[in-house]
Amino acid sequence: MSDDRELLRVEGLTKVFGRGKDEVRAVDGVDLRLARGEITALVGQSGSGKSTLGRLLLRLLDPTAGRVVFDGGDVTAVRGARRRDYWRDVQAVFQDPFAAFHQYRRVESTLAAALRLAPDAEREHGRAAVEAALEAVGLDPERTLPKRPHELSGGQLQRAMIARALMVRPRLLIADEATSMLDASVRVTVLNLLADLRESREMSVLFVTHDLGQAYYLADRILVMHRGRIVESGPAEQVVAEPEHAYTRSLLADVPKLHPQA
């Protein structure tokens, strides 16, 4: 990858939890690069360290060692106002959309609160910016904004969550098992939405999943994570067609049927 295509680079990133015999090397010397406008999937079984890596990239956790460089600037230890600036560039969507919304608040108030991080232009437009973000994810603002979370389906709420992230105009969206709780048909809608947003917003996506099938469907590149390390990486086609690592082959065996055109 040429330097001008690089959005994020990680070198020797390590996170150790606990001490002595309770020590867990959740992330163990990871090097990786994410390109501008590209969808990269991070795939591995539960416990392989994917969410810890995601939280390190989001600056929600301090690494034990290593560094994170975003758009040429070292963000490994940013705090305070500089960390809030970083959160404009890097947004996240997690597995459980119900946990992301306040149970008793209307969707409008949760989305409006996110505008505080948004660029000035979006903030000035207030309600219009919220509506535009909902329309971008295929939700009707009139019908969605007055609702409380339990009045929407999981798929609708996850799309609202993505809208909330988009209002901030991130350059990188980290989606950690964001489609895992959704029904198969809704899942395809959300995967296609992520693919569209990458095109229309020139946003990079790090798609974190335990499911190599979804990774293959969506991603340009696949990183395979096992016991805190990246054991294989390459173009999605190549990793699936010619897996080099035994662990990748075992993940492939868990995919009942790959459906590239589905």
Looking only at residues 16 through 45 of this chain, which bind ligand ADP when binding is defined by CB under 6 A?
17-18, 24, 26, 44
* Strand ranges, E, within the chain: 6-17, 24-35, 39-43, 65-70, 73-74, 90-93, 172-176, 204-209, 221-226, 229-235
The option from Mg ion, ligand ADP, none interacting with 17 (CB < 5 to 8 A, set by class) reads ligand ADP
CB of 177: closest distance to ligand ADP in angstroms? 8
By CB under 6 A, is residue 47 in contact with ligand ADP?
yes
CB of 60: closest distance to Mg ion in angstroms? 13
CB of 250: closest distance to Mg ion in angstroms? 18
User: Which residues make beta-bridge pairs with 207?
Assistant: 41, 175
Q: Is the alpha carbon torsion for 216, 221, 224, 225 positive or negative?
A: negative
By CB under 6 A, is residue 48 in contact with ligand ADP?
yes
By CB under 6 A, is residue 155 in contact with ligand ADP?
no
Task: Give the one residue of 9, 10, 49, 134 binding ligand ADP; rule: CB under 6 A.
Answer: 49
Task: Give the one residue of 40, 48, 51, 204 binding Mg ion; rule: CB under 5 A.
Answer: 51
Answer for the pair 216, 258: CB distance below 8 angstroms, yes or no: yes
Nearest to 101 by CA among 149, 153, 145: 149
CB of 45: closest distance to ligand ADP in angstroms? 7
Torsion of CA 101, 211, 8, 167, to 10 degrees: -30
Q: Which residues bind Mg ion (CB under 5 A)?
A: 51
Q: Which residues bind ligand ADP (CB under 6 A)?
A: 17-18, 24, 26, 44, 46-52
